[in-house]
Amino acid sequence: MLLNKSISDIATLIKNKTISAVDLVNEAYEKIERLDSQINSFITIRNKKEVIKEAEEADKKNIGTKNPLYGIPYSLKDAYVTTKIRTTCASKVLNNFLSPYDATVYQKLKQAGAIMIGKNNLDAWGHGGSTENTDYGGGKNPWDTSRIPGGSSGGPAAAISSRMVSFAIGEDTGGSIRNPSNMCNTSGLKVSYGRISRYGVIAYASSLDSVGPMAKSVEDLALILETMVGKDKFDATSSINKNFDYVKDLHKRTTKIIGLPKEFFGEGLDSRVRKIILKVAKEYETAGYKIAEVSIPLMKYGISIYYLTSLSETSSNMARYDGVRFGNSRQLLSDETKRRIMLGSYALSAGYADELYKKAQKARTKLIKEFNKAFEVCDVLLCPVTPSPPAKIGELINDPLKSFLEDLYTGPINVAGLPSLAIPAGFTTNNLPVGMQLIGKRFHEEQLLQMGYVYQQLTHWHIKKPPLLNQND
């Protein structure tokens, strides 16, 4: 089927007019109609006739010189505002909200000719790691529908894994792209803070939020990234891209030493995950890379720094949703969101801000320095994404502390503002996906993509499809 192919292969077929954008859109809707009732990956699906009309216009204008994303169907995490398509952020507080402007990333993809099919499910406001904390029905994992797809970008990962779309755009505050990529056997890139404009993304924690692409493979991620990066006058934190050609750079080999940070392999890591990640290290070593153990001692405080920062900032960001300026009644907020607002407000309250939030920011600076010190020994870091394989539905939402610990290995990377790539690394004996995480120096996304591409040339975990699909898919 067409949506099982790589973006570059689809682009070639469109360019040669072997297939059409209409063909791709029809396949996307056929998959959604057949499969989404089982995994609930979408909150909003655009009217098919409207999208077909958009695809027909794209086919008429196709002169074979377009962006490689031209005519290709994709989806957005429902945290990106758009003028003509509702944005809910998975909360009834924003049910049927239409924005007065479009997110920059959405504008760029539209200009590139990509066709947006709909908006994906997530944990409301990004508050969670399982796509269970949503007012639109919990998401399910295509590999085992009794388990979570990860979160908060669980909807996008499940849609890609099920081949409903060719790619999706997620958002990562503390692991929300990498966590579901890891659990759904897809690839996801959390970019360096500032690499891609956040304008038009509903904020969770403003100093941690990162936009990023999600797709089937690293090569696909590189193609999408080239369209998304760049300075945006509407986002003062966005950076100028230094003319990287991420696709051509995939074939370069700028990494020599891979670091294994021992703090990521300690107590709490599931033995099945540990075994798979250490096997990945051996495969890289066999391919000619040197493996070195490194240490980041402050990682033991990393999750605390992350949550003190994120909860404090979300309590401030959520203040605008008061039922007067934006949204419906705050009574519609979920228990998880209320919990995070209360904890964050406490951390910022008089008498505690210095002891909690400000101290966390000082520790944040020290953690960044420790990561930089580790990169004096190695070029990239290799580690797990989450402590364990996908949990059963209900396990995390009924245990808030366990839910918080899903971000144990990912949240601190956002604290440091570093890029991180999550890609498939293997399966447990009961066929549950396990991913690996590659972490790089700030603004060195090209190096992570190169290393991910090397691994996906050596192995074929990323091309495996979930049992939800049949042979024809």
Residues tagged active-site:
77, 152, 176
Helix-strand-coil split of the chain, %, nearest 5: 45, 15, 40
Q: How many CB atoms lie within 10 A of CB 166?
A: 30
CB-CB contact of 380 with 259 (8 Å): yes
Residue type, 375: F
What is residue 122's three-state secondary structure?
coil
- Distance, CA of 54 to CA of 104 (rounded, Å): 20
Distances from the Cα of 401 to the Cα of 123, 336, 355, angstroms? 16, 11, 22
Distances from the Cα of 266 to the Cα of 175, 274, 286, 297, 425, angstroms? 19, 9, 25, 12, 19
Distances from the Cα of 161 to the Cα of 84, 218, 359, angstroms? 27, 14, 41
- Distance, CA of 162 to CA of 34 (rounded, Å): 11
φ, ψ at 118 (rounded to 5°) = 175, -170
- Distance, CA of 341 to CA of 336 (rounded, Å): 9
